[in-house]
Structure 1
Amino acid sequence: MNIAILGCGTMGMIYAHNLAKMPGVTVTGVVDINARRAERAAALTGAKAYTDVASLFEQKDLETVAVCLPTYLHKPYVLQIAEKGLHVICEKPAALTLEDAQEMRAACEQHGARLFIGHVVRFFPNYHDAYQQAHSGKIGAPKMAHFKRYGAYPQGMEGWYTDPGKSGGVIMDLMIHDIDYACWLFGEVESVYASVVKRDEPKMDYAQLTLHFKNKAIASLTGYWGYPGPFTTQFEVSGDQGIIRFDSNQVQPLDIQTMGLLRGEGPAVQIPSGSSLHDPYYKELQHFIECIRNGSDPLVSIEDACYAVAIAQAAGQSAQTGQPVMIGGNVS
């Protein structure tokens, strides 16, 4: 598989690091308007460095392009790549609006290119294990969940990350991880209610979402840029027979408490993450590349990615109006 990387910032370098060591994959080009960043990625991967995508497209054997650009640039470049008939692995979120995401999807379908969106949380061992446990019947029917994601206020990145018109803000950029996961866990959303608190000094962007699902499940989500501590993710998934908990700050990765424990039927079931040779980004990229090779369906479909954008967009609307937003039937 011959692949190129478009954008050599933070995520582009993560992709470069993982693709460089992946068997059967050759990084043939890296592109960034900043020549120093492009050269750094080229040194890591052995690829040729470019400062414009038109030069990259001159490569004859290119098959796939990984798009690691700022969110507001996803659509225009994915459309260009699709026109060349090249497959696309694009960082999340797919786009800033559902309409843009749907246009990207349609363009790739028109030109016979596959489009994958990097909702990497599904590939984190603790989240993936929690999904499987929640649907195994171990905690009964999952009915409620709480998700939290805290991080320092973004710095640098040429200002795009903190510009809601370019990144979508804390809901579209940060919380969309948990939006996608909650929808994977519970299915279609019936309504979303959101509130956002912002502060300029010190900078803070804090949001809370409540998602009501059509199967009557409820999820509450918290996202926080400006957190003074270490990057933190937490979740609880509750069923009528038990609860699954995770806290990234604890040594114990995943804890499942069931009603059987209360009846003295055995110890809590603990699912450790275990030692992993490769990080979740490696697993995600490897999975998408295998889907291209064998034509299989990905763990994260483009429909899933469009749906996450739709819910995040509705949450932004709710935060602006102070009212819940009902979700229609055709949003992906």
Structure 2
Amino acid sequence: MSKIKVAVVGCGSISKHRHIPEYGWNPNVELVAFVDPIIERAEHYAKTYGGKAYSSYAEMLKQEKVDAVSVCTPNFLHAEVSIAAANAGAHVLVEKPMASTAEEAEAMIAAAKKNGVFLMVGHNQRLMPPHVKAKEILDSGKLGKVLTFRTSFGHPGPEGWSVDGRESWFFRKEEAIMGAMGDLGVHKSDLIRWLLSDEVSEVAAFVGTLHKEGTQVDDNATCVLRMKSGIIGSLVASWTYYKGEDNSTVLWCENGVMKIGTHPEDQVIVELRDGTVERYKVGAIATNEKQTSSGVIDEFVASILSGKEPRISGEEGMRSLNVILAAFESQATGKIVSL
């Protein structure tokens, strides 16, 4: 079988740390093109991995016949580039948040369907070993029904992560559209939907810019969610956890509590009401400081090779996006928003 020809559009931090190296490690992939408006960035990867550098994705799609495209651009371009790639007959892996609006997300899903290609969204939280283990434990039923939860994702902000530091597009509202919620919150709405095998039915949220200066994008959000099954919980996204990253989830259940990502060595801890404590060392959750393989690229490539729809499909990405959009609506209207 010949290798899957892949183009990466956008050569910033997510490409540098995740997409490009993970494609590089995958024996079924040939990286054929890199695109970035700052052409030197694209040229750097073309030199390292082979392939050609382009400053325009439209030009690249005209020149190259690619099987798949990773869309790692600023948020406002996700839909535009994904749709163009699908129309060129390429499978699409798009970073989160998949789009800026529900309409964009729908258009992306429609473009993939029309062209008979896959659309996958880079929600890596589902693939991280502690979360996979937690889901297995939840599904085993030993904890009984989940009653309440809290899930949070915070770090000191994109200035430490982005290749452009404080000058990053993450802080420019016209390019980012949304801040901590689009960056981190959407990861947690995806995680909680998947962990609980449940959908969010209502959202009440406070979303604001508390500390980052000179930007209109949100740097903090606290949301209360009610799930279809009646479970209630909180979801927090923050760019002002200056003492370090938190990506933890706690689920309080009928028979005990499960803590994920709260302890440096024991990534999953189950404390049952009868006094038993189970500790699982299953491998860390990837952090900005400590990049472990996200699993996203392998999952994407495997779905192309098997011809099976990705588990983290465009539809799944859209459901997770809709939770975040509802939080912004709740902040704007002061009302609880039903999904």
**TM-score, normalization: structure 2?**
0.88
CA distance in structure 2 between the partners assigned to 1:122 and 1:212 by the alignment: 20
CA distance in structure 1 between the partners assigned to 2:189 and 2:64 by the alignment: 39
Query: 1:301-327 deviations in whole A, cap 9, x for unaligned?
Result: 221101111111011010122211011
CA distance in structure 2 between the partners assigned to 1:94 and 1:133 by the alignment: 29
CA RMSD, Structure 1 to Structure 2 (Å): 2.1
Q: Which amino acid aligns with 1:211?
A: L
Matched, 1:223 2:247: no
Work out which of the residue numbers 185, 202, 205 in structure 2 matches 1:175: 185
Change (3 A) 1:229 1:2: same
Gaps of 5+ in 1: 328-332
The answer to whether the Cα contact below 8 Å between 1:123 and 1:280 also exists between their aligned partners in 2 is no
Work out which of the residue numbers 292, 308, 317 in structure 1 matches 2:304: 292
Shift of 1:60: 5.0
Shift of 1:154: 2.2
Matched, 1:188 2:188: no
The answer to whether the Cα contact below 8 Å between 2:146 and 2:231 also exists between their aligned partners in 1 is yes
Which deviates the most, 50-59 or 209-218? 50-59
Change (3 A) 1:322 1:93: same
Shift of 1:150: 1.2
Shift of 1:175: 0.5
Shift of 1:275: 8.2
Aligned twin of 2:329: 317
Matched, 1:210 2:224: yes
CA distance in structure 1 between the partners assigned to 2:212 and 2:155 by the alignment: 16
Q: Which amino acid aligns with 2:246?
A: T
CA distance in structure 2 between the partners assigned to 1:279 and 1:43 by the alignment: 24
Aligned twin of 1:330: none
**TM-score, normalization: structure 1?**
0.90
Which deviates the most, 25-34 or 228-237? 228-237
Q: Which amino acid aligns with 2:326?
A: A
Work out which of the residue numbers 46, 60, 67 in structure 2 matches 1:63: 67
Change (3 A) 1:299 1:280: farther
Change (3 A) 1:252 1:193: same
CA distance in structure 2 between the partners assigned to 1:241 and 1:43 by the alignment: 56
Query: 1:20-57 deviations in whole A, cap 9, x for unaligned?
Result: 11111110111111122112222332222121223322
Matched, 1:110 2:119: no
Change (3 A) 1:164 1:140: farther
Shift of 1:61: 4.2
CA distance in structure 2 between the partners assigned to 1:275 and 1:145 by the alignment: 21
Shift of 1:249: 5.8
The answer to whether the Cα contact below 8 Å between 1:182 and 1:219 also exists between their aligned partners in 2 is no
Work out which of the residue numbers 41, 52, 57 in structure 2 matches 1:53: 57
CA distance in structure 1 between the partners assigned to 2:125 and 2:25 by the alignment: 21
The answer to whether the Cα contact below 8 Å between 2:208 and 2:220 also exists between their aligned partners in 1 is yes
CA distance in structure 2 between the partners assigned to 1:72 and 1:275 by the alignment: 31
CA distance in structure 1 between the partners assigned to 2:225 and 2:173 by the alignment: 22
Matched, 1:304 2:308: no
Show the 5 A alignment for 1:238-277. Answer: 238-247=252-261, 250-260=264-274, 262=275, 267-274=276-283
Q: Which amino acid aligns with 2:86?
A: A
Report the count of equivalent residues.
320
CA distance in structure 1 between the partners assigned to 2:110 and 2:212 by the alignment: 42
Q: Secondary structure at the match of 1:212?
A: strand
Aligned twin of 1:24: 28
Q: Secondary structure at the match of 2:234?
A: strand
